Structure 1
Amino acid sequence: MAENKHMIIDKENFPYVFIKNIDIPLKTYEKDGKDVPYGETPDPGYWTRKGYIVVRADERGAGQSPGFLDTVSRGTSEAFFDVIELAVEQEWSSGKVGLLGISYYAGTQWQVAARKPKGLAAIIPWEDMSDYYRDRVRHGGILSDRFIDFWWNNVVSPNQYGKPGRATRKWGDDTLEGDLNEDTLLENRRDQTINTAMHKFRDEEYYRSRDFDVEAIEIPLLSVANWGGILLHLRGNALGWIRASSKYKFLHFIVGRHDLPFYYPESAELQLSFFNSFLKDDDAGGWKSGNQPRTDWPLPGTEYTKFFLTPENTLSTTSTSSTKMVEYDALHGKPIIFKYKTSSSLEITGHITAHLTVSATRESNDAPVPTDIDLFITLRKMNSKGEEVFYTGTMCDPVPIVKGWQRVSLRKVDATNKLHEEYLPYRKYYSTDAQAVEENQQYEVGVEVWPTNVVLDPEETLVLEIAGHDTQGVGKFSHEHADDRDPKVFGGKNCVTVGGGASWLTLPIINSGKQMD
Structure 2
Amino acid sequence: MSRGTSEAFFDVVEWAAEQPWSSGKVGLLGISYYAGSQWRVAARKPRGLSAIVPWEGMSDYYRDRCRHGGILSNSFIKFWWDRQVITNQYGRPGRAARNWGPDTVEGDLSEEELAKNRQDQNIDNAANHFRDDPYYASKEYDMADIEVPLLSVGNWGGILLHLRGNVEGFVNAGSEFKYLRMITGRHDLPFYYSEEVEVQRSFLDAFLKGDDRVGWSVKGKVPPVDLVLRKGDVGFNDAQAEKAYPRRTENEWPIARTKWTNFYLTPDKKLTRLEPLHTPPKKLSYRALGTLEDPSLIQFTTAPFEEETEITGNVVAHLNVSVSADATGPTPSDIDLFVTLRHISPEGKEVFYTGTAGDPVPLTKGWLRVSLRKTNPDHPKHRPYLPWREYLSTDRLPVIPGEVYGVDVEVWPTQVVVEKGGKLVFEVASGDTQGSGIFLHNSPEDRSEEKLRGQNHIVFGPKFSNYVTLPVIPPKYGA
TM-score normalised according to structure 2 size: 0.90
RMSD: 1.2
Distance 1:363 1:168 in 2: 54
Distance 1:427 1:492 in 2: 26
State the partner residue of 1:437. Answer: 399
CA contact (8 A) 1:319 1:499 kept: no
CA contact (8 A) 2:296 2:430 kept: no
Residue 360 in structure 1 maps to residue 309 in structure 2? no
Residue 317 in structure 1 maps to residue 317 in structure 2? no
State the partner residue of 1:335. Answer: 297
**SS of corresponding position for 1:389:** coil
After TM superposition, what 4+ stretches of structure 1 lie above 6 angstroms from structure 2?
none
State the partner residue of 1:48. Answer: none
Distance 1:170 1:347 in 2: 46
Distance 2:178 2:475 in 1: 28
Q: Deviations over 1:449-480 (max 9, x none)?
A: 00001111111110000000000000000100
Residue 481 in structure 1 maps to residue 443 in structure 2? yes
Higher RCO (CA < 8 A, seq sep 6+): 2
Change (3 A) 1:125 1:456: same
Distance 1:512 1:310 in 2: 29
Query: Between Structure 1 and Structure 2, how many residues are aligned?
Result: 441
In the TM superposition, 1:93-112 aligns within 5 A as 93-112=22-41
Change (3 A) 1:512 1:502: farther
Report percent identity of matched pairs.
Answer: 55
Tell me the amino acid that sits aligned with residue 19 of structure 2.
Q
Shift of 1:181: 2.7
Q: Deviations over 1:183-205 (max 9, x none)?
A: 33222211001101110000011
Tell me the amino acid that sits aligned with residue 363 of structure 2.
I
Residue 372 in structure 1 maps to residue 299 in structure 2? no
Distance 2:449 2:430 in 1: 11
Residue 396 in structure 1 maps to residue 358 in structure 2? yes
CA contact (8 A) 1:197 1:484 kept: yes
Distance 1:460 1:301 in 2: 23
Distance 1:77 1:420 in 2: 27
State the partner residue of 1:60. Answer: none
Tell me the amino acid that sits aligned with residue 423 of structure 1.
Y
Tell me the amino acid that sits aligned with residue 264 of structure 2.
F
**SS of corresponding position for 1:299:** coil
In the TM superposition, 1:211-226 aligns within 5 A as 211-226=140-155
Tell me the amino acid that sits aligned with residue 419 of structure 2.
D
State the partner residue of 1:19. Answer: none
**SS of corresponding position for 1:306:** strand
Distance 1:86 1:457 in 2: 53
Shift of 1:331: 1.7
State the partner residue of 1:43. Answer: none
In the TM superposition, 1:4-83 aligns within 5 A as 72-83=1-12
**SS of corresponding position for 1:388:** coil
In the TM superposition, 1:492-503 aligns within 5 A as 492-498=454-460, 500=462, 501-503=464-466
State the partner residue of 1:291. Answer: 221
State the partner residue of 1:142. Answer: 71
In the TM superposition, 1:396-415 aligns within 5 A as 396-415=358-377
Q: Deviations over 1:92-120 (max 9, x none)?
A: 11100000000000000001000011100
Shift of 1:499: 5.2
CA contact (8 A) 1:310 1:499 kept: no
CA contact (8 A) 2:289 2:447 kept: no
Tell me the amino acid that sits aligned with residue 223 of structure 2.
P
State the partner residue of 2:343. Answer: 381
CA contact (8 A) 1:370 1:489 kept: yes
CA contact (8 A) 1:308 1:499 kept: no
Q: Deviations over 1:137-168 (max 9, x none)?
A: 00000000111101001111121122222223
Distance 1:457 1:158 in 2: 46
2:311 to 332, 348, 359: 348
State the partner residue of 1:44. Answer: none
Q: Deviations over 1:372-423 (max 9, x none)?
A: 0000000001111211000001101100000000000000001110000010
**SS of corresponding position for 2:378:** coil
Tell me the amino acid that sits aligned with residue 291 of structure 1.
K
Q: Deviations over 1:266-296 (max 9, x none)?
A: 1010001101110011111111223212311
State the partner residue of 1:506. Answer: 469
Shift of 1:226: 0.3
State the partner residue of 1:267. Answer: 196
Bigger mean CA offset, 145-154 vs 163-172: 163-172
Distance 1:148 1:361 in 2: 31
Q: Which runs of 5+ in 1 are unaligned?
A: 1-71
Distance 2:26 2:402 in 1: 57
TM-score normalised according to structure 1 size: 0.84
**SS of corresponding position for 1:477:** coil
Distance 1:487 1:343 in 2: 44
CA contact (8 A) 1:124 1:221 kept: yes
CA contact (8 A) 1:346 1:512 kept: no
Distance 2:391 2:355 in 1: 28
Shift of 1:121: 0.1
Tell me the amino acid that sits aligned with residue 362 of structure 1.
A
CA contact (8 A) 1:195 1:206 kept: yes
Bigger mean CA offset, 420-429 vs 487-496: 487-496
Distance 1:238 1:488 in 2: 37
**SS of corresponding position for 1:111:** helix
Residue 460 in structure 1 maps to residue 422 in structure 2? yes
